[in-house]
Chains A and B, each alone.
Chain A
Amino acid sequence: MTPNSKIFAIVFVAAVLLFIWSCVRRFSLVTIGKPEDRFDNFPARIRDTFLYAFCQKRVLQKPFGINHFVLFWSFMVLLLANIEFVLKGLHHSLSFMLLPAFIHNPIYFLFDLFSLFALVCVIVAGVRRVVAPPYPEAITLDAYVILSMIALLMIAYFNLHGVELAVGEISALMPISAWVGRTFYAGIDLESAHSFINFWWWLHAIVFLVFLNYLPYSKHMHILSSIPNCYFRRFGKANTLPTETFVKGAKFGVETVDQYTWKDLFDSYSCTECGRCQMVCPASNTGKPLNPRKVIHDLKVNLLANGPIIKEGGKPTLPLIGNNGEGSITEDEIWSCTTCGACMEVCPVFIEQMPKILQLRRYLVEMKATFPEELLNLFENMEQRSNPWGIAPTERTKWCSQLNVKPFDASCEYLLYVGCAGAFDSRNKQVTVALAHILDAAGVSYGILGKEELCCGDSLRRLGNEFVFDRMARENVKLFKEKGVKKIITLCPHCFSTLANDYRQYGFEGEVVHHADLIDSLIKQGRLKLKKKVDAGRVVFHDSCYLGRHNDIYESPRSVISQATGKAPIEMDRNRAESFCCGAGGGRMWKEEHLGTRINLERVGEALTKNPDTICVTCPYCMTMFDDGLKDKNADKVMVKDIAEVVAEALQ
């Protein structure tokens, strides 16, 4: 039996119109954003939508993801059930019953089964939020409203079909509904059966339509937006921000929501509030005000508040940057990011939190010239002497005063780009010397730029000082071209990433290799012969964010350590793509850590749980952060070594 089709038709059309109106109103706000091309790469986009949206590859990386996976597929199947429900409500004959029994029986069976799955999943999710919430703020009324609505839908579904089956109104293979029918409605008379059917039918219909209209206003908006968000994911490096054109009258960075791209704004609608990003964020984990989930949430709130005004040509009323509560992002949050990329690595729907933060930095530095005090020195030093410490460029060759390292010329295969830390920092100079020995032992043809070498500008770019970075990048690329540089070895993942990725934007086409990859291939090709196995005790390896997450180099440093010591390194609990930042990236190296606890202490503490004798790194910043951290933890018996130093020992 079906209820009053006419009334339902009116209610249904009204609800659907309201839903469409809500969606158009909300989603059209993203059109105030700037253009960005995310329509290329069609086959790869389809593949990734399948993998990440439909197969939920990232969701499943966490154990609890299975619950979401099952719920997601229950929704997919029950979407069909609900379409049938609506059609049948509009006209009683429109149902799968029209199909032959061998088709409609399995369909009804699946509907029944997946309704049970969905019910179990929402109960599990509800209980989880009470017993072990992913993060404390996850217990929201919004979440419970949604979970209850889904549960109610399933209960109504079972009851509706239970009664129908019990009184023989329908006959289908629906074991759970049948059980409900047997248990609660056995032997009831036809009249009360009809009122029950009426009740459950309308309850189902109303909850369904309310749910539909609640979606665009809740965090479950992601049900609508996360699949397209996966489709429009970024394929290039998120860390390589777009360049800027420095002409008078232009604006730089992001001050108001409309200065983001449409995709940035769409991101904010796609957040599932799963909290995975905040659980891996080094800033959130050490008591700093930054929380990447909150940044995305604030962006959404700001867009909803200002979007309609901006669309009408008005001025935004809620500042995006500042101390204005929900919808605003404070300067302390903006400066806390280490650009480690952990948030983007885990986000199941490919939201890019970090570049949004860096755009805010650009605005602060370039338009307002406001930034933490310590950075003034850094900026001046970079502009005046092209290194963070402001040391005279003539000192760039001091590390090799005892060595026979030749200046780069056209006869060299490689340019050894020493980098500022490798040239000026006393501890890291030892790494440079070790690498020089390795290159000599392997007979690699290389030279250095010496006092002509300029800083790569990594810190400037990550700190939002794009104007000066732009100048430095141009100078460097020009220098490389003039000198005929084709291949570059770097000692620092930050130089590596900047030269290999960011400088592509400036027309540098050469090959860039980090010493981890180079040493690994030299050993494997038999060009570098290790004379002994180094006894470095228990060796723990720390992945640098800029080598690992930002450039997917995970195996070569491990392989180098294995070959030099004869043993695979011991893994930290958080390793490879899940590695935890040392705290120095994103220009944080040059800033005091006033807020919360220190990130390097957290990571050093984690390393110490493995009882290491040596901690191996591949990055000068990590070196400094671990060195400092070990001293503070009174663990200076533990050595921090770059992999190059371990290999150099194996040559003796």
Chain B
Amino acid sequence: MLVVACIKQVPDTTQVKIDPVTNTLVREGIPFIMNPFDTHALEEALRLKDRFGVRVAAVSMGPPNAEMTLRKALSLGADEVVLLSDRAFGGADTLATSMVLAEAVKRLAEKDELALVICGKQTIDGDTAQVGPGIAMRLNLVPLTLVDRIVDLDLAAKTIVVSRKLEARHEIVQSKLPALLTVVREINKPRYPSVPMRLEAQDLPVQLWDNKVMNLDVNKIGLKGSPTAVRKIFSPEREQGEIIGDGMKDPEGTAKLLVEKLVQKELLAL
């Protein structure tokens, strides 16, 4: 049985700034990391490997340097990693991204029966949360989003029960396999690579699948296959706040001032 984890390499957004002129991310000198949600997706896949002995494949679409992130996946225990990289894939929106990823999952599933695809809930750069469900639709998998726990998995009976973390409630749902999960951070604590695994991973292959391998219609992928057009990206302006009183010297007086302000603005009723 095969479990595929989709992982994206993202710029470390705590360090990202947006160029006000070109409206694009200033990527220079910014370190890349594995999308934090995807570390949980990969971890969940690896836990299934530990429990049920499934094979874990990790795929990522991105520039050649995303190899580093895939190597990390190898050092954590992924059995097979695939980098989808080609100029033709570049500039993809979520529609085109999910297209390439779905095709890649299909190829992986040729050798092994697919049980699950696991994605992160969203990325910290694109933030759309659309790619997971996109893949599910294309592959006709049951989309189970916002999963914070796999309650039960029966590979023989091909069923899965998961808990979905919704606003202020949890939903326990049962589904048949194969399914696609998108996971939230609460689902697990990612593992840390041991040194032997890291050293091992240095020499393991990262498969490169470009469009010669994938052979996809160039009008359906990359920039050409992306109907989304970016009009503008900007950081919303925020009005400079106001410093009220001196909390260090006069905490009580300052608290009073604050309450008065809030009442004034009708944010608080006495």
Contacts and interface: CB of A to CB of B under 8 A. Distances in A.
Nearest to B202: A248
A367 B12 contact: no
Interface footprint category on B: 10 to 19
Interface residues of A, number: 24
B170 interface: no
B33 A384 contact: yes
Contact of A376 (B14, B192, B199): B192
A195 interface: no
A594 interface: no
B33 A252 contact: no
B149 interface: no
B15 A247 contact: no
Contacts of A384: 12, 31, 33
Contact of A248 (B15, B33, B199): B199
A367 B196 CA distance: 7
A467 B197 CA distance: 12
Given A384-B12, A384-B33, A390-B14, A379 B192 contact: yes
A188 interface: no
Contact of B12 (A250, A371, A385, A467): A385
Interface string A356-380: 0000000001111101010010011
Interface in A4-48: none
A228 interface: no
A394 B203 CA distance: 34
A366 B199 contact: no
B31 A385 contact: yes
Contact of A252 (B193, B195, B200, B203): B195
A249 B197 CA distance: 10
Interface string B190-216: 111111111110010000000000000
B200 A248 contact: yes
B14 A246 contact: no
B202 to A, nearest CB: 8
Contact of A367 (B15, B195, B200): B195
A369 B192 contact: yes
B194 A366 contact: yes
Contacts of A467: 195, 198
Contacts of A380: 192
A186 interface: no
A376 B185 CA distance: 14
Contacts of A392: 12, 14-15
B256 interface: no
B78 to A, nearest CB: 15
B51 interface: no
Contact of B193 (A369, A373, A385): A369
Interface in A437-492: 467
A393 interface: yes
A532 B182 CA distance: 65
B194 A369 contact: yes
A246 B192 contact: no
B119 to A, nearest CB: 21
Given A384-B12, A390-B14, A393-B15, A368 B194 contact: yes
Given A376-B190, A392-B14, A392-B15, A246 B33 contact: no
B234 to A, nearest CB: 20
A302 to B, nearest CB: 23
A394 B26 CA distance: 14
B31 A246 contact: no
A417 B193 CA distance: 30
Contacts of A246: 195, 199
B169 interface: no
Nearest to B197: A369
A207 B164 CA distance: 77
Contacts of B14: 385, 390-392
A244 to B, nearest CB: 8
B111 interface: no
B264 to A, nearest CB: 31
A229 B192 CA distance: 39
B189 interface: yes
Interface string A385-418: 1000011111000000000000000000000000
B179 to A, nearest CB: 29
B27 to A, nearest CB: 14
A553 to B, nearest CB: 34
Interface string A242-274: 000011111010000000000000000000000
Contacts of B189: 373, 376
Nearest to A391: B14
Contacts of B190: 376
Contacts of A366: 194-195
Contacts of B196: 248-250, 252, 367
Contacts of A376: 189-190, 192
A376 B188 CA distance: 13
A369 B190 CA distance: 11
Given A384-B12, A390-B14, A392-B15, A369 B33 contact: no
Q: Choose among B12, B193, B196, B200 the residue with the greatest number of A CB atoms under 10 Å from its CB.
A: B196
A462 B12 CA distance: 27
Nearest to A366: B195
B184 to A, nearest CB: 18
Interface string B14-58: 110000000000000001010000000000000000000000000
Nearest to A466: B195
Nearest to A386: B31
A298 to B, nearest CB: 25
Given A248-B196, A384-B33, A385-B31, A369 B15 contact: no
Interface in A333-366: 365-366
Contacts of B31: 384-385
Given A373-B189, A376-B189, A376-B190, A394 B195 contact: no
Given A369-B192, A376-B192, 12 more contacts: A250-B196, A250-B199, A365-B192, A369-B193, A373-B189, A379-B192, A380-B192, A384-B33, A385-B14, A385-B31, A392-B12, A467-B198
| In the complex, the 10 A-B pairs of residues with the closest C-beta atoms, listed nearest first | A366-B195, A392-B15, A369-B194, A369-B192, A467-B195, A248-B199, A392-B14, A252-B195, A384-B33, A367-B194
8 contacts: A250-B196, A252-B196, A365-B192, A367-B194, A369-B194, A369-B197, A391-B14, A392-B15
